[in-house]
Chain A
Amino acid sequence: MAIHLRTPALLMAVSAALLAQPTVAPTGEPVGRARGEDWNGYNVTNSFELGARYHTVNGNEAAYRSDVNFGNGLRLLGSTLSLNSKEGRGGLFDEILLNTQGLGNDPYQFSSLRIQHNRWYRYDMNWRVNDFVNPGLNFLPSAHTQNTRRMWQDHDVTLLPAFPFQFLAGYSRNSQEGVGLYTQNLFDQHRGDEFPLFANINRRQREFRLGTQVQYRKLKLILLRGWQRYEEDSPLSLAAGAGLNAADNTTLTSFRLTSPYSGDTPFWRANLFGEAGRWLAVNARFSYAGTRRDFASEEAAIGTSRLGAATNRQFFAGGTGTRPVTNANFTISLFPADAVTITNHTAFHQIQMDGNATLTQVQNGFTGANILNFRHLGIRSMVNTTDALLRPAKWLGLRAGYQFSTRRIRSVEAETVGTFSDRLDYEQTNRVHAGLLGVRLQPVKPLTFNFDLEMGRADRPFLTLSERNYNAFGARAQYKQGSLLLSAAVRTNYNTNSVSLFSHSSHSRNYALDASWTPRRWFAFDAGYGKQHLDTLTGIAYFASGQFLDTQNSLYVSNVHSGHAMARFSVAGRVDLSFGYSRVQDTGDGRAALALSTNRAFPDVQVLPLAFDSPQARVSIRLHQQIRLNFGYQYYRYAEDFSALRDYRAHTGFTSVLWSF
């Protein structure tokens, strides 16, 4: 029996390890025979990979930490633990399932845990950490950086999961903490200076949920009540005395900014499902969340103005923002015949953002007028979609759809300065008609073709870049025979958004070819190539050296070629070797050097040609039926064609021991 189970399990693990462009660790190699130990009525499986990573970086280390960020040291690269009751009637639990990755030292760590008793409860937990460095943009001045840790956790409990009446409870937490550098323009908004400021970033959101689920015959109702609490207090303080504008004499000797921002979002959510016979299914969903957040801001800056005069400025702001969101949708599915499905979906969404703010500024002891602001932005959308799916034969599938959507946008901008008041009200409605056609063909069992085309027309796009007259075409061919998988895909998205004195067009074309093959237990291969082309041409207007220029275009061209290949060999069932290579290269429009136009502030064609590649190799040696020793190496190279400021080369590696049963 063990032999029968081992082969497919091994093949599955091999194909799983190959299809992605993974990081070199954790290993993911199988160990030994079919696993599991029986203990006290439970079957226990365990896998535990402990190892150390190491790395060296040449070039821009901040960029490496932004893109890759693996460091040195010991960590639990990956682990799994499962306990299953053999009869499905355990005492305190029937199943425990624990998965972890990178615990202890990796920049990307997660763990998930499920504990359940088939009859009484189910508990799910997800926990994640992401250490992230944001080195700022590679265009000067580039002072916005962050070195923060984000942490997410979700806990969900279901009581009585096997019964028609269930209780639900949950808790989530999302936090971001760390340090950052920001900039702020001080004393003179246009001619002044921008100063780098130190930020102590501290944001967190907690959510509590309580609910119930009731099923009666073919009806099921889910009700959920929840509360969110958001808190942010990321004080800014002076990081340096000199500003970023070398041509300006403004100095800053003291600065402090405190802006606590917090609020609650109580919400209701309801879902109703129903069926009638074998020809109808309905789903109705409603949610309402009413957010209110309060803020206060106090800023104090002391320095000298650009003319050398002593200057100080204080600024106070306080107010409240509200954001009620109502969302409802209704879906009805009809099955008039076995081969026909018709679905109609209606969605309503309304969001209203209101804000009141009082702003006061004191400059050089002179108190300016209180400024009272009221802002409203309301968006209400209605969407109705009908889809029909017809399968007249096993080898043929046809689909068609039509959607109408209407969106009303209202805004109010009101301001009171002293005794003077001003108010602007705007309202507009945008409508979109879109249609979809699709065909699926399967002339022989291993070969499938899929084609789809969506066309849409918008009467009043909101932005210059929005979709107006657009079409999206996709085609895919897939051949799957045994362990051989070949696929090819193409997708195009074209949009033209032009009015009398303005034009915008975008064309994107994606092509992909992939192959995956596992001909033998000891050999597997996976490779792919993709090309993503994008060109956008947009009319722009701006000021340069006091001159207003409004007849120019912004042209962006990107041609991204990506490829990956990976091969895995198993030698004598004891040593696994894998080699992989991944490369992404943007060739721009093919030019070799950045050419600035003589009369424009930017190049005629915006491009950012660069290459990012990463070869890797791994050796995994089975020392024992339950133990493996692993070594891996992965190289990262980032190289821009026009500038070396952000370039880096990194050597990373790991050594680990994998123990499993």
Chain B
Amino acid sequence: MLLLCLRLPLQAAQPPLTPNSTGYVGSNACKTCHADVWSNFYKNPHYKSIALGAESPEKTGCESCHGPAKAHVEARGGKTTIPRAFSLMPAGQALNTCLACHEKSISRAQIRRSSHTQADVACNSCHSIHKPAVAKSLLAKQQTNLCYGCHNSARSQFAMPHKHRVNEGAVQCIDCHNPHGSPAAAWRSGLRPRMVETTMDGEQPCLRCHTDKRGPFVFEHAAIRVEGCETCHAPHGSMNPRMLRRPAVFTLCLECHNGASGFGLSRDGIPLQTSSHNVNDPRYRNCVTCHVRIHGSNSDPRFLR
């Protein structure tokens, strides 16, 4: 079977750069006028289709994306004579053109339902095939700048004092987000978030780096498992230490641990603190001083050790 699979591309080892009867003229014709594009095209991942020579003319070189160029050549140029000129295409058509080859990958499996596709942010909004600023993935700009271009509020959040180090280069947006769309999140029940990159097991991306928080623990903090880390933390950045959602720890805890009926595992209310706690004493205002294993414990149901 392996030999059979290998046989197919090995048979055609020469690039089909010559004209044929279907309107394809071959990439050699393109480089006559578009020398500026052609001169660096060997650095482009799409050049493989020419170098390997394994594909049919409609999947090789310039015409694989732009379509058969016979009419364009005969008209001696002009954008309107290019069957697929991306600068003239609607976003949906640009997407379909790229997905003709690129759809079958894990990272793009949900691209049809992604927020970007729905807002007509097509492939060429972020990728520059001929003039990429970043060679890997052919990005039009450095990745963080691409995202900031539209996601203004994210830029503000990453400028806060307590944040993931995106501006410093330690973390990238794509560590936690998939710009091509993601499956439904397992830790939230609404339509959002759509673009958060789940782990392959469908869990929140925080656990990929913060492996010590994943467990299993004998005594799990159910809030984390059911509603996710965002219950307590602001993942982009926060004005509060440790990227917490409140400046004081005890109010963060007490907003859930208030005994209100109808919530929690038992639906009888999330347990209240005991009467031995005196919140008037500052000692009791930083709950994690004693509840040190707040993300889960193997030794104490109250996360004390």
Interface residues of B: mostly helix, strand, loop or mixed?
Answer: loop
B184 touches A321 (CB 8 A): no
B275 contact from A94, A399, A548, Cβ within 8 A: A548
Chain B residues closer than 8 Å to A379, beta-carbon distance? 186, 225-226
For residue A651, CB closer than 8 A to chain B, the reply is no
Chain A residues closer than 8 Å to B250, beta-carbon distance? 542, 602
Residue of chain B at shortest CB distance from A340: B92
Chain A residues closer than 8 Å to B36, beta-carbon distance? 1, 4-5
In angstroms, Cα B192 to Cα A539, docked, is: 26
Determine, out of B16-24, B77-85, B142-150, the stretch whose residues face the partner at the interface: B142-150
A564 touches B155 (CB 8 A): yes
In angstroms, Cα B263 to Cα A576, docked, is: 59
B42 contact from A88, A528, A606, Cβ within 8 A: A88
For residue B288, CB closer than 8 A to chain A, the reply is yes
In angstroms, Cα B110 to Cα A428, docked, is: 30
Q: Which of B196-213 contact A (CB under 8 A)?
A: 200-203, 208-209, 211-212
Give, as a whole number of angstroms, the nearest-CB distance from A543 to chain B: 5
A297 touches B299 (CB 8 A): yes
Give, as a whole number of angstroms, the nearest-CB distance from A509 to chain B: 11
* Interface CB pairs A-B, < 8 A, 26: A20-B155, A43-B43, A82-B135, A136-B241, A139-B249, A271-B106, A323-B215, A331-B183, A333-B112, A349-B186, A377-B265, A391-B120, A405-B184, A460-B267, A463-B231, A463-B263, A470-B190, A487-B150, A502-B258, A512-B156, A562-B160, A564-B155, A586-B239, A606-B251, A610-B161, A612-B159
B227 contact from A182, A185, A466, A489, Cβ within 8 A: A466
Chain A residues closer than 8 Å to B2, beta-carbon distance? 165
Chain B residues closer than 8 Å to A626, beta-carbon distance? none
In angstroms, Cα B203 to Cα A327, docked, is: 9
Query: Which of B149, B189, B276 has the most A CB atoms < 10 Å from its CB?
Result: B189
In angstroms, Cα B57 to Cα A62, docked, is: 62
Give, as a whole number of angstroms, the nearest-CB distance from B157 to chain A: 8
Chain B residues closer than 8 Å to A86, beta-carbon distance? 42
For residue B254, CB closer than 8 A to chain A, the reply is yes
Residue of chain B at shortest CB distance from A330: B183
A450 contact from B119, B192, B279, Cβ within 8 A: B119
B288 touches A144 (CB 8 A): yes
Give, as a whole number of angstroms, the nearest-CB distance from B263 to chain A: 5
B275 touches A543 (CB 8 A): yes
For residue B74, CB closer than 8 A to chain A, the reply is no
In angstroms, Cα B106 to Cα A556, docked, is: 41
Quick one: CB contact mask for A501-523 with B, threshold 8 Å, 1 for yes? Answer: 11010000010111010000000
For residue A84, CB closer than 8 A to chain B, the reply is yes
For residue A461, CB closer than 8 A to chain B, the reply is yes
Given the interface pairs A377-B222, A403-B191, the reply to whether A345 lies near B135 with Cβ below 8 Å is no
B133 touches A331 (CB 8 A): no
For residue A179, CB closer than 8 A to chain B, the reply is no
For residue B31, CB closer than 8 A to chain A, the reply is no
Given the interface pairs A293-B216, A359-B299, the reply to whether A544 lies near B170 with Cβ below 8 Å is no
Q: Which of B116-167 contact A (CB under 8 A)?
A: 117-120, 131, 133, 135-136, 140-142, 144-145, 148-150, 152-153, 155-162, 165, 167
B275 touches A546 (CB 8 A): yes
Chain B contact-residue range equals: 35 or more
Quick one: CB contact mask for A171-204 with B, threshold 8 Å, 1 for yes? Answer: 0001010000011110001110010000000010
In angstroms, Cα B109 to Cα A134, docked, is: 38
For residue A230, CB closer than 8 A to chain B, the reply is yes
Give, as a whole number of angstroms, the nearest-CB distance from A472 to chain B: 7
Quick one: CB contact mask for B7-34 with A, threshold 8 Å, 1 for yes? Answer: 0110000000000000000000000000
A347 touches B167 (CB 8 A): no
Determine, out of A48-56, A281-289, A617-625, the stretch whose residues face the partner at the interface: A281-289
Give, as a whole number of angstroms, the nearest-CB distance from A223 to chain B: 12
Given the interface pairs A134-B242, A273-B104, A354-B216, the reply to whether A434 lies near B292 with Cβ below 8 Å is no
B265 touches A411 (CB 8 A): yes
Chain B residues closer than 8 Å to A140, beta-carbon distance? 282, 285-286
A530 contact from B119, B153, B241, B280, Cβ within 8 A: B153
B277 touches A543 (CB 8 A): yes
In angstroms, Cα B286 to Cα A615, docked, is: 34
Given the interface pairs A285-B183, A345-B113, the reply to whether A245 lies near B189 with Cβ below 8 Å is no
A110 touches B170 (CB 8 A): yes
Interface residues of A: mostly helix, strand, loop or mixed?
Answer: strand
Chain A residues closer than 8 Å to B192, beta-carbon distance? 454, 472
Chain B residues closer than 8 Å to A347, beta-carbon distance? 183-184, 186, 202
Chain B residues closer than 8 Å to A375, beta-carbon distance? 218-220, 301
Chain B residues closer than 8 Å to A114, beta-carbon distance? 136
Chain A residues closer than 8 Å to B155, beta-carbon distance? 20-21, 528, 530, 562, 564
Chain A residues closer than 8 Å to B47, beta-carbon distance? 88
Give, as a whole number of angstroms, the nearest-CB distance from B129 to chain A: 14
Residue of chain B at shortest CB distance from A563: B156
Residue of chain A at shortest CB distance from B302: A189
Chain B residues closer than 8 Å to A501, beta-carbon distance? 260-261
In angstroms, Cα B247 to Cα A570, docked, is: 44
For residue A39, CB closer than 8 A to chain B, the reply is no
Given the interface pairs A426-B266, A512-B152, the reply to whether A405 lies near B189 with Cβ below 8 Å is yes
Q: Which of A134-185 contact B (CB under 8 A)?
A: 134, 136-144, 150, 152, 160, 162-165, 174, 176, 182-185
In angstroms, Cα B218 to Cα A558, docked, is: 37
For residue A478, CB closer than 8 A to chain B, the reply is yes
- Residues on B lying within 8 angstroms of A by beta carbon are 1-2, 5-6, 8-9, 35-36, 39-40, 42-43, 47-48, 50-52, 54, 90, 92-93, 103-104, 106, 109-110, 112-113, 117-120, 131, 133, 135-136, 140-142, 144-145, 148-150, 152-153, 155-162, 165, 167-170, 183-184, 186, 189-192, 200-203, 208-209, 211-212, 214-220, 222-223, 225-227, 231, 239-242, 246-251, 254-256, 258-267, 270, 272-280, 282-283, 285-286, 288-290, 292, 298-299, 301, 304-305
Determine, out of A304-312, A362-370, A380-388, A653-661, the stretch whose residues face the partner at the interface: A380-388
A319 touches B219 (CB 8 A): no
Q: Which of A38-86 contact B (CB under 8 A)?
A: 43, 66-67, 82, 84-86
B212 touches A203 (CB 8 A): yes
For residue A269, CB closer than 8 A to chain B, the reply is yes
For residue A291, CB closer than 8 A to chain B, the reply is yes
A426 touches B267 (CB 8 A): yes
Given the interface pairs A440-B120, A601-B279, the reply to whether A387 lies near B263 with Cβ below 8 Å is no
A130 contact from B170, B184, B267, Cβ within 8 A: B170
Query: Which of A16, A101, A359 has the most B CB atoms < 10 Å from its CB?
Result: A16
Give, as a whole number of angstroms, the nearest-CB distance from B113 to chain A: 4
In angstroms, Cα B43 to Cα A463, docked, is: 53
B136 touches A112 (CB 8 A): yes
Closest 6 CB pairs of A and B: A88-B51, A355-B218, A512-B152, A321-B216, A327-B202, A323-B216
B118 touches A267 (CB 8 A): no
In angstroms, Cα B150 to Cα A288, docked, is: 36
Chain A residues closer than 8 Å to B200, beta-carbon distance? 224, 267, 269, 287, 289, 327
Give, as a whole number of angstroms, the nearest-CB distance from B245 to chain A: 8
In angstroms, Cα B217 to Cα A275, docked, is: 42
B254 touches A541 (CB 8 A): yes
Residue of chain B at shortest CB distance from A261: B298
Chain B residues closer than 8 Å to A1, beta-carbon distance? 35-36, 39
For residue A97, CB closer than 8 A to chain B, the reply is yes
In angstroms, Cα B118 to Cα A361, docked, is: 59
B169 touches A530 (CB 8 A): no
Residue of chain A at shortest CB distance from B95: A341
Residue of chain B at shortest CB distance from A394: B90
Chain B residues closer than 8 Å to A267, beta-carbon distance? 200-201
A608 touches B247 (CB 8 A): yes
Give, as a whole number of angstroms, the nearest-CB distance from A413 to chain B: 8
Give, as a whole number of angstroms, the nearest-CB distance from A182 to chain B: 6
